Amino acid sequence: MARPKEIQRHRYDKNTIIETRRLIFEPYAFNENMMHLVMGLVQRNLSSDLLRYKRLKYPEDKNIVQYYGHCYHATQALYYLMNTDELIPMSAEDYREEKHWWLQYSDRVYNYTTKQY
């Protein structure tokens, strides 16, 4: 059984931490079946309201193109939810000169917001 993971996020005022949020959870086992299961769970919870504070290059697309604007936070969620340190976050500019994010493990690519293209 995996040990609990803890993620901390700080909020700053200038250079001073004014708030720390902690999330402690049991990570998912890292295997191909679990990766696809967790990817599906994250995908089902992606909605345009999650983008309300994100500056989008094409804001009109957020209600038209499935998964547009979600690649970073969806990839980050999967990265933390899995019980491994072998996933590598990757990014590159897409054809619209926007940064796109995905994960890699060895020769496997986990890019589950590709339906935005």
pLDDT in tens, 92-104: 998 888 899 999 9
Check residue 3 and report its DSSP letter. Answer: P
Q: Mean pLDDT over residues 62-80, rounded? A: 87
Pick from 75, 63, 66, 82: nearest CA to 100 = 75
Q: Is the pLDDT of residue 114 over 70?
A: yes
Q: Give the amino acid at 58.
A: Y
Instruction: State the chain's mean pLDDT as an integer.
Output: 90
Q: SS3 of 10, please?
A: strand
* pTM over cut 0.85: no
What's the pLDDT tens digit per position in 29-67? 999 999 999 999 999 998 888 887 777 787 777 777 778
Rg (CA), the chain: 16
Both tokens assigned to 111? 């890019």
